Amino acid sequence: MSDTQTPEIEESLFEAPPIAEQERMVEAVLFASADPVTIAELNARMPHGCDAGEALVHLQKRYEGRGVHVIKTGNAYAMRTAGDLSFLMQKETVETRKLSRAAIETLAIIAYHQPVTRAEIEEIRGVSVSRGTVDQLLEMEWIRFGRRKMTPGRPVTFVVTPDFLDQFGLESARDLPGLKELRSAGLLENRPPPSLSDALDEEREDSDENQTELFEE
Amino acid sequence: MSDTQTPEIEESLFEAPPIAEQERMVEAVLFASADPVTIAELNARMPHGCDAGEALVHLQKRYEGRGVHVIKTGNAYAMRTAGDLSFLMQKETVETRKLSRAAIETLAIIAYHQPVTRAEIEEIRGVSVSRGTVDQLLEMEWIRFGRRKMTPGRPVTFVVTPDFLDQFGLESARDLPGLKELRSAGLLENRPPPSLSDALDEEREDSDENQTELFEE
Amino acid sequence: MTPDTTETAKDWDGDARERLSVEDRMAAEALIVDVDGYEGPLDILLSLSRTQKVDLRKISVLQLARQYLLFVERAKELRLELAADYLVMAAWLAFLKSRLLLPPDPTEEGPSGEELAAHLAFQLERLQAMRDVAARLMARDRLGRDFFVRGIPEVIERVRKVTYSATLLDLMQGYARIRTRDEFRPFVMDRDAVYTMEEALGHMRGLIGFSGKWTDISSYLPEDWQKDPIKRRSATAATFAASLELVKEGKAELRQSGLFEPIELRRREQSE
Please tell me the predicted confidence (pLDDT) of residue C157.
67
A61 interaction partners in chain B (CB closer than 8 Å): none
The C-alpha atoms of residue A201 and residue B31 are separated, in whole angstroms, by 65
The model's confidence at residue A188, banded by pLDDT at 50, 70 and 90, is low
The C-alpha atoms of residue C112 and residue C1 are separated, in whole angstroms, by 12
Please tell me the predicted confidence (pLDDT) of residue A53.
93
Contact A121, A133 (CB under 8 A): no
CB spacing of A27 vs B68 below 8 angstroms: yes
Half-sphere exposure of B115 (CA within 13 A, CB side): 19
The C-alpha atoms of residue A150 and residue C46 are separated, in whole angstroms, by 99
**Residue C77 to chain A, least CA–CA distance (Å):** 59
More confident residue, C11 or C216: C216
A79 interaction partners in chain B (CB closer than 8 Å): 31
Please tell me the predicted confidence (pLDDT) of residue A184.
65
- Mean pLDDT rounded to a whole number for chain C: 77
Please tell me the predicted confidence (pLDDT) of residue A207.
40
Contacts with A169 (C-beta within 8 Å, 6 or more apart), sequence order: C168
CB spacing of A67 vs B25 below 8 angstroms: yes
Residue of A21, A29, A63, A80 best to disrupt the B interface, most CBs of B under 10 A: A29
Q: What is the pTM of this model?
A: 0.57
C39, C119, C151: residue with CB nearest B102: C39
A25 touches chain C (CB under 8 A): no
Contact C204, C243 (CB under 8 A): yes
Please tell me the predicted confidence (pLDDT) of residue B213.
43
Please tell me the predicted confidence (pLDDT) of residue B201.
45
**Residue A97 to chain C, least CA–CA distance (Å):** 5
Least Cα distance to B1 among B77, B86, B94 occurs for: B77
C185 interaction partners in chain A (CB closer than 8 Å): none
- A101-208: CATH number: 1.10.10.10
**Residue C94 to chain A, least CA–CA distance (Å):** 59
> What pLDDT digit, counting tens, does each position of C183-225 carry?
544 444 556 778 888 888 888 888 877 777 888 888 888 888 8
**Residue B175 to chain A, least CA–CA distance (Å):** 25
**Residue A64 to chain B, least CA–CA distance (Å):** 11
CB spacing of C150 vs B33 below 8 angstroms: yes
Contact B183, B173 (CB under 8 A): no
Please tell me the predicted confidence (pLDDT) of residue A64.
92
C169 interaction partners in chain A (CB closer than 8 Å): 187
Please tell me the predicted confidence (pLDDT) of residue B182.
93
> What pLDDT digit, counting tens, does each position of C253-272 carry?
888 888 888 888 888 876 54
Q: Nearest chain B residue to C142 by CA: give it.
A: B168
If DSSP codes are grouped into helix, strand and coil, which group holds residue A189? coil
A77 interaction partners in chain B (CB closer than 8 Å): none
If DSSP codes are grouped into helix, strand and coil, which group holds residue C215? strand
The C-alpha atoms of residue C259 and residue C261 are separated, in whole angstroms, by 5
A32, A107, A140: residue with CB nearest C148: A32
Q: What are the angstrom distances between the C-alpha of A146 and each of A116, A138, A158?
A: 8, 12, 5
B150 touches chain C (CB under 8 A): no
C142 touches chain A (CB under 8 A): no
If DSSP codes are grouped into helix, strand and coil, which group holds residue A143? strand
C89 interaction partners in chain B (CB closer than 8 Å): 126
Residue B180 has pLDDT above 80, yes or no: yes
Q: Which secondary structure element, helix H or strand E, spans residue A158, and what is its range?
A: strand A157-160
Residue A19 has pLDDT above 70, yes or no: yes
Contacts with A118 (C-beta within 8 Å, 6 or more apart), sequence order: A129, A134, A155, A156, A158
A178 touches chain C (CB under 8 A): no
More confident residue, B12 or A122: A122
More confident residue, C181 or A79: A79
As to burial, measured by CB atoms within 10 angstroms (0-12 exposed, 13-18 middle, 19+ buried), residue C145 is middle
* Section C48-74 average pLDDT: 84
Backbone angles phi, psi at C199, to 5 degrees: -65, -45
User: Is the ipTM beyond the 0.90 threshold?
Assistant: no
The model's confidence at residue C12, banded by pLDDT at 50, 70 and 90, is very low
CB spacing of B92 vs A46 below 8 angstroms: no
Where are the domain boundaries for CATH 1.10.10.10 in chain B? Answer: 13-90, 101-208
Least Cα distance to C253 among C271, C237, C236, C235 occurs for: C271
Q: Nearest chain B residue to C86 by CA: give it.
A: B127
C85 touches chain B (CB under 8 A): yes
CATH of range B13-90; options 1.10.3720.10, 3.40.250.10, 1.10.10.10, 3.30.365.10: 1.10.10.10
CB spacing of C137 vs B185 below 8 angstroms: no
**Residue C97 to chain B, least CA–CA distance (Å):** 16
CB spacing of A111 vs C175 below 8 angstroms: yes
Please tell me the predicted confidence (pLDDT) of residue C13.
39
B127 interaction partners in chain C (CB closer than 8 Å): 39-43, 85
CB spacing of C142 vs B127 below 8 angstroms: no
CB spacing of A78 vs C152 below 8 angstroms: yes
If DSSP codes are grouped into helix, strand and coil, which group holds residue C127? helix
More confident residue, C85 or B143: B143
More confident residue, B191 or C121: C121
The C-alpha atoms of residue B162 and residue B173 are separated, in whole angstroms, by 9
Please tell me the predicted confidence (pLDDT) of residue C132.
93
CB spacing of A25 vs B85 below 8 angstroms: yes
B46 interaction partners in chain A (CB closer than 8 Å): 88
Contact A58, A23 (CB under 8 A): yes
- Mean pLDDT rounded to a whole number for chain A: 77
List strand residue ranges (DSSP E) for C166-269, in order. Answer: 215-216, 252-256, 263-267
Percent of chain B with pLDDT over 70: 83
Q: Which secondary structure element, helix H or strand E, spans residue C32, and what is its range?
A: helix C22-33
Least Cα distance to A52 among B41, B165, C23, B67 occurs for: B67
Contact B78, B33 (CB under 8 A): yes
CB spacing of C165 vs A93 below 8 angstroms: no
Residue B137 has pLDDT above 60, yes or no: yes
Residue of C169, C171, C173, C183 best to disrupt the A interface, most CBs of A under 10 A: C171
The model's confidence at residue A11, banded by pLDDT at 50, 70 and 90, is very low
Three-state SS for B166-185 is HHCCCCCHHHCCCHHHHHHC
Q: Nearest chain B residue to C154 by CA: give it.
A: B32
> What pLDDT digit, counting tens, does each position of A128-141 carry?
888 888 998 998 88
Q: Are strands A37-38 and A76-81 parallel, antiparallel or unpaired?
A: antiparallel
The model's confidence at residue A55, banded by pLDDT at 50, 70 and 90, is very high
> What pLDDT digit, counting tens, does each position of C71-118 carry?
888 877 777 777 788 888 888 898 888 888 887 777 777 778 888 888
B13 touches chain C (CB under 8 A): no
Chains that touch B (3 or more CB pairs under 8 A): A, C
Please tell me the predicted confidence (pLDDT) of residue B197.
45
Contact B48, B17 (CB under 8 A): no
More confident residue, A151 or A211: A151
The C-alpha atoms of residue C115 and residue C3 are separated, in whole angstroms, by 13
Q: Helices (H) and strands (E) in chain C — how many of each? A: 9, 4
Residue of A21, A22, A25 best to disrupt the B interface, most CBs of B under 10 A: A25
> What pLDDT digit, counting tens, does each position of C159-194 carry?
666 777 777 777 777 787 777 765 544 444 556 778
- Mean pLDDT rounded to a whole number for chain B: 82
C157 touches chain A (CB under 8 A): yes
Sequence letter at residue B106: T
Please tell me the predicted confidence (pLDDT) of residue B61.
95
* Section B110-116 average pLDDT: 94
* Residue C117 backbone class (left: φ over 0; alpha: ψ -120 to 50; beta: rest): alpha
DSSP notation for chain B: -GGGHHHHHHTTTS-PPPHHHHHHHHHHHHHH-SS-EEHHHHHHHSPTT--HHHHHHHHHHHTTTSSEEEEEETTEEEEEE-GGGGGGGTTT---PPPPPHHHHHHHHHHHHH-SEEHHHHHHHHTSPPPHHHHHHHHHTTSEEEEPPPSSTT---EEEE-HHHHHHTT-SSGGG-TTHHHHHHTTTTS-PPPTTS-HHHHHHHHHHHHHHHHHH--
Least Cα distance to C158 among B78, B22, A95, B51 occurs for: A95
C148, C158, C166: residue with CB nearest A99: C166
Contact B128, B118 (CB under 8 A): no
Residues 167-186, chain C, touching A (beta carbon < 8 A)? 167-181, 183-184
List beta partners, residue A157: A117
Burial A137-171 (b: 16+ CB within 10 A, else e): beebebbbebeebeeeeeeebbbbbeebbebbebe
Contacts with B183 (C-beta within 8 Å, 6 or more apart), sequence order: none
A26 interaction partners in chain B (CB closer than 8 Å): 67
Backbone angles phi, psi at C30, to 5 degrees: -60, -35
Chains that touch C (3 or more CB pairs under 8 A): A, B
Residue B22 has pLDDT above 50, yes or no: yes
Contact A47, A26 (CB under 8 A): no
CB spacing of A126 vs C178 below 8 angstroms: yes
* Section B144-150 average pLDDT: 87
Of the segments A78-92, B145-159, C97-111, C120-134, which one has the largest average pLDDT value?
C120-134
Which range (A74-83, A169-178, B48-57, B170-179) has the least confidence?
Answer: A169-178
